[in-house]
Structure 1
Amino acid sequence: MNEKEIQGLIDRAIEDFNGNLNDLGSAIGMVMLSRRYGWRVVLLIHSPNTVRKYLKILGLKNLRDVAPEVGELAHRSNAWRLVDGTANFWKVVRGQISGVRSALVEKSADEH
């Protein structure tokens, strides 16, 4: 999706929404972050149930429709750095490997 399509998606979700605005805000935030960090990082932050809930709020079938697999800021994610290059990504997402999920991000020393 391009910028205009994503803005239209968000505008429609806002106009059509019924429920707790915290959920809507979190769903929009998930999409916006996924565009820079990638859908893989988002799946390391949120549980599969939360991602499904947010996708439903936005009327999306898949986060891949709006975000790259790995975004330009993925390297800042502590969780992504732990699974990048390993075969453990889906095991972590499914909860078969614990202690990896994290929403923490850090700039590298050369980014300061």
Structure 2
Amino acid sequence: MLNDLKMLCERSYNEILQLKKEKENILSDKNLVLEAKKKELDKKVDGVELEIMNNSYMINDVLKKVREIFKKTHVQYEYEEGIIKKNINIYKKICIYIYFNFGKRIFKNI
């Protein structure tokens, strides 16, 4: 009977040792899996960061181009506005010249 108990104790002890080893293996496997997942996640995050940066540069370039277009449009508008004002002034001068030089004669004949 003591022999049977001794064998049972040894078996139990061996099983406990085996279970401890399995537990250690599971924990190390778990850590390896976690490290692999972390590396994978880091790569994805780096990819997303790079994509965000590229999109940011693209948006910045678009905004610069829009700004240049508005500047050119504004300068063109000011230029055209200046030409229109010049033309109006020339038209006024022509009208005044015509009135004073020819208008008096025309109105006298009427």
Alignment TM-score, normalising by the size of structure 1: 0.18
| Bigger Cα Rg | 2
- More helix per residue: 2
